[in-house]
Amino acid sequence: MKIVFTGGGTGGHFYPLIAIAESVRKAAREQHLIKPQLFYIAPSAFDEEALFENEIRYISCPAGKWRRYFSLQNVTDLFVSGIGFMSAWFTLFSLFPDVVVSKGGYASVPVTLAAKFLGIPVIIHESDAKPGRANLMASKFAKRIAVTFSESASYFPEKVRSRVARTGIPIRSLLMQPEHEGAHAHFGIDATLPTILVLGGSSGAQHVNDVMIDALADLTSFANVLHQTGKDLFKTTQAMANLVLEKAPHKDRYHAVPYLSALSMRQAAGAADLVISRAGMTAIAEIAMWKKPSILIPIPETVSHDQRTNAYAYARTGAATVLEEANLNGHILSSEAKRILTNPEVKRQMIEQTSLFANEDAGKIIAEEILTIALPHQAS
């Protein structure tokens, strides 16, 4: 059995595919099937270590990106998309997989189109409340459409809605449960104080970092701050924090890290009492799985159309509050964090509401559907 995964460009596209791959291998073992061959086709490998650990072979395939603003690159990328389609067609024709699983994004377009022309079944997963253009296109010929939010179904063409099912977002097994044992000691954090975990995404977020610096003196007066800054932004952020906290009485309560591996993220989640994060759906799903109250700071709609929608859709469960970047400053952020951490009833209610969103069986549900579709195709 051969299964191809596609999509990418961000961790929000890539890591749910890794979670699905984990679940596919586990489901195949449980059903006593021959070990499936797994492939990832995209313009870049994104995380070679994750692919290697999950025995997924990477195959490069170019893909053109369509920007929402005027750019000459939109013209040149049309040619890139054409080349990508031909590359994907020859690759799929050579492999002839039993199913293609797409997470959407521009990287998935050549592969899903090639699969359509070759008659290979396609399954798509949509993380965002409002589906992206790549998945809307692929939905017209997809065998199954998995979504995170029930309301996402209304965006798909009416004739395909019978193929839509809400599954939630697949989470890598290592990140399912926070690691509480030794978590505070791992980061050198005072376990007697509440801890705020700040996540800006895999690359960090400059504006979030800037607001955090502005809020540090207040935040460290009542809590530890564990701040994942992003690799490229670490030195600058650390230097600014040192300057701001130079004369502060609790400067040892601030802990900056450039990046958190899966294992370190699990320990950070174990130490955290509150998470401040961007509003990518994978991040939201992980926070919900950890059962942590959160403050979400979505990327403005002028940059990303989906984060604001995602943030408010999740906040409607009562598990999070949303602070708009345009109106945000250090005082507002620290005041909201203090309101949540010093009010046990508010914190308890937010933790309870995370269960309305988290679904630890998301990967299993999708994996079983993949095998259900792949097996007859393999036999044909």
Which CATH number is 28's domain given?
3.40.50.2000
Q: Which residues contact 331 (CB under 8 A, 6 or more apart)?
A: 214, 215, 218
Burial 209-227 (b: 16+ CB within 10 A, else e): bbbbbbbbbbbbebbbbbb
Give the pLDDT of residue 68. Answer: 57
On whether both 161 and 186 belong to a single domain, the answer is: no
Name the domain count of the chain: 2
Give the pLDDT of residue 380. Answer: 63
Give the pLDDT of residue 88. Answer: 97
E-assigned strands of 220-265?
A: 224-228, 254-257
On whether both 286 and 337 belong to a single domain, the answer is: yes
Give the pLDDT of residue 76. Answer: 67
On whether both 161 and 178 belong to a single domain, the answer is: no
Average pLDDT over residues 202-211: 82
On whether both 375 and 345 belong to a single domain, the answer is: no
Average pLDDT over residues 97-121: 95
| Mean pLDDT of the chain, nearest integer | 91
pLDDT band at residue 205 using 50, 70 and 90 as cut-offs: confident
Contacts 24+ apart (CB under 8 A), 55-62: 55/25, 56/5, 56/18, 56/21, 59/91, 61/87, 61/88, 61/91, 61/110, 61/111, 62/87, 62/110
On whether both 303 and 364 belong to a single domain, the answer is: no
On whether both 183 and 102 belong to a single domain, the answer is: no
Average pLDDT over residues 165-171: 93
On whether both 318 and 201 belong to a single domain, the answer is: yes
On whether both 265 and 343 belong to a single domain, the answer is: yes
**Residue 74 pLDDT exceeds 70:** no
- Give the other-Cβ count within 10 Å of 331's Cβ: 12
On whether both 163 and 196 belong to a single domain, the answer is: no
> What is the chain's Cα-based Rg?
21
For residue 156, give its domain range: 2-171+360-379
**Residue 176 pLDDT exceeds 60:** yes
- Dist. CA 117–CA 91, nearest whole Å: 13
On whether both 124 and 193 belong to a single domain, the answer is: no
Question: What does the block give as tokens for 205?
Answer: 């977020």
- Give the other-Cβ count within 10 Å of 94's Cβ: 8
On whether both 165 and 196 belong to a single domain, the answer is: no
Quick: pLDDT tens for 218-265: 999 999 999 999 888 999 999 999 999 998 889 999 999 999 988 999
Q: What angle do CA 300, 305, 309 make, to 5 degrees?
A: 85
HSE-CB for 41 with a 13 A CA cutoff: 29
Q: Give the predicted TM-score (pTM) of the model.
A: 0.87
On whether both 129 and 192 belong to a single domain, the answer is: no
